[in-house]
Amino acid sequence: MKIRDHYYEILKELGEDPEREGLRKSPDRVEKALRFLTGGYQKDPKQVLNGALFTEEYNEMVLVKDIDVFSLCVPSKQIVNAVRGAKPARNLRVGDELWTLHEGRIARTTITKISSRASRDVVVLRTDRGTFKVTSDHPVMTDQGWQEAGKVDPGVRIEWINPRSLCRRRVRPQEGYPLGYVLGAVASDGSLQDGRRICLTVTNHKFAGRFAEMFGEAFAVSTPRMERVKVPSGYRGEEIQAYRVRVVSRDAGEKLCRWLGVHEKGARSKTKTFRFPEVTLSSREMFAGFLDGYCDGDGHSLKKGGGRMIVTSNRGFAEELARVLQTTIGKGHPGIFRVYISRRWDQEGWYGRHGFRKEREFYVPFDSAWATVLGVDRVPRPKKPYRVYAIKCEPHPTFLVAGHLTHNCEHHLLPFFGKAHVAYIPDKKIVGLSKIVRLIEIYARRLQVQERLTNEVAQTIAEQLEPQGVAVVIEAQHLCMQMRGVEKQNSIAITSAMLGQFRENAKTRSEFLGLIHSGIRHV
């Protein structure tokens, strides 16, 4: 897929119409702009200097000043969930494996690069599952997408997993009719206890047997055993014969709780509290299984028309199911709601209805859950800055901090711009001054951070000219600070690289710094 196609999809995600007048050509324009801004990847900076070197007996400082620059751009004690045991960020090393979540499933990722910097901008993010410290612009995965930690509002949910369960053996639910049937049966007549005990006790032998069979297929496990039990009947005033299917599985129980919106802790009854499981709308087969499972528990067939009727005391569930089926809610006794299911519920055009519509992909957090944000507290500005770490991982760029899913990205794809000052003291070799400007342009037209850009320019000049010393200073404004994050409009970042005599000789260094600041213009 080309850049323009991705941007076309981005416009749609933002709620815009890419085909409207004024936006129709924007995807092509953006592709051309990005290819221009990142054109430095197509050029070899060393060739720029090699082709313009010549010998000259000159050993005084050469300074090129005010070169325009335009480029794109975890506290040390914070515990990170490493595969071989959680450890502070400062103890992580390249090659270490970290736990992460990929599409809701537990995965491993490997550290390929670690860098650190000093920062006073640290926040404590408090959730109902724990707390952790990160910089305010550190991305965390919320139910509204990636957000910066400092801007997350209370009530927003962050994807989370209990760190104690990272090494647990897991079941893998299979999308389709069996899983839909299990969800329908549990919603209608089953119970979930403490997020790990799934139980269905019914008087219908066929229903219990089918539930056991569907459970085994849905979770790719052995078919659970069905047992005969006696249960009290309030209607008959005596114990009656019933059949029970019981499964103890923390992993399967947690998944069913999340799909049905039932809290993992608390009483076994969920009749009036469960939510319509939206995951069943990922395919026609899965939704058909859900309807069959629910009707086998709390529904019945109608003689007229061949449809079925679901009976429930859960108003929220009834309203959502009626919306999906494009029907109305019927009322029976007080607090009892009825939802009619036509035998043609999935057919398009029946009485103007759209039939079954796939409303979502088969994705909800499988191994993960949601942690609700209670608050974000900014740490008082310390006298001594914190040491924070940027961790680059592959194949997944995400990792877990105290069980919470976070993302460490190297840059924000937002511009920084300003001035560069470059000086060198020749040792017989000099280069055309315009080549220094072109060298900076090549390195700047890449996805960059200012620190790397400064070092790359200095190192390349040192390698190709072999001078007595090189000095590079870049002063820039960063839109990632002005448009987002701390939103400081007048802040300027200054980076420097001093090699050879500029590092070793204080007088030479002072002369350079004095020259670049004499009459310097603010960027």
pLDDT per residue over 412-464, tens digit each? 444 556 788 999 998 888 888 888 888 887 877 666 667 777 888 899 999 88
Domains in the chain, start-ordered, CATH in brackets? 1-37 (no CATH), 41-72+412-517 (3.30.1130.10), 79-168+367-407 (2.170.16.10), 177-352 (3.10.28.10)
Lowest-pLDDT choice from 48-52, 234-238, 495-499: 48-52
Alpha helix positions (H), 156-283: 177-189, 205-218, 250-260
348 versus 241: the higher-pLDDT residue is: 241
Distances (CA, A) of 513 to 68, 422, 509, 510, 519: 18, 11, 6, 5, 12
How confident is the model over 473-482, as a mean pLDDT? 65
CA distance 179 to 280: 9
> pLDDT per residue over 135-170, tens digit each?
887 888 888 777 888 889 999 999 888 887 787 777
Q: How far apart are CA 371 and CA 475, in angstroms?
A: 41
pLDDT at 490: 46
Confidence of residue 67 (pLDDT cuts 50, 70, 90): low
Residue located via tokens 């599409």: 103
User: Per residue in 47-56, is it b (16+ CB within 10 Å) or e — as a string?
Assistant: ebbeebbeee
What's the confidence (pLDDT) of residue 272?
Answer: 63
What type of residue is 484? R
| Most confident of the following: 209-223, 268-282, 368-382 | 209-223
Nearest residue to 171 via CA among 223, 106, 217, 219 = 219
Q: Which residues contact 312 (CB under 8 A, 6 or more apart)?
A: 188, 271, 298, 318, 336, 337, 339
The pLDDT-based confidence of 362 (bands split at 50, 70, 90) is: low
How many Cβ atoms are within 10 Å of 278's Cβ, its own excluded?
Answer: 14
**Mean pLDDT of all residues belonging to the chain:** 80
Question: Which of 286, 215, 273 has the alpha carbon at shortest distance from 244?
Answer: 215
Strand-pair partners of 202: 243
Share of the chain above pLDDT 70, in %: 80
The one-character DSSP state at 466 is -
Sign of CA dihedral 110, 112, 117, 119: negative
pLDDT score of 366: 64
Which of 466, 496, 491 shows the shortest CA–CA distance to 478?
A: 491
Q: Are strands 79-80 and 122-127 parallel, antiparallel or unpaired?
A: unpaired
326 closest CA partner among 348, 306, 300, 302: 348
SS3 91: helix
Q: Cα(136)–Cα(485) distance, rounded to whole angstroms?
A: 7
Percent of the chain exceeding pLDDT 90 equals 23
Summarised one tens digit per residue, pLDDT across range 163-212 is 877 877 777 788 899 999 999 999 999 988 887 889 999 999 999 999 99
Residue 224 above 90 pLDDT? yes
What is the pLDDT, as a whole number, of residue 184?
95
**For residue 409, pLDDT beyond 60:** no
Query: What's the whole-model pTM score?
Result: 0.51
CA 40 to chain centre: 30
Burial readout 59-76 (b: 16 or more C-beta within 10 A, e: otherwise)? eebbbbbebebebbbbbe
Instruction: From residue 362, give the alpha-carbon distance in Å to each of 225, 325, 400.
Output: 28, 19, 23
State how far the Cα of 46 lies from the Cα of 460, in Å rounded to an integer: 7
pLDDT (average), residues 211-236: 88
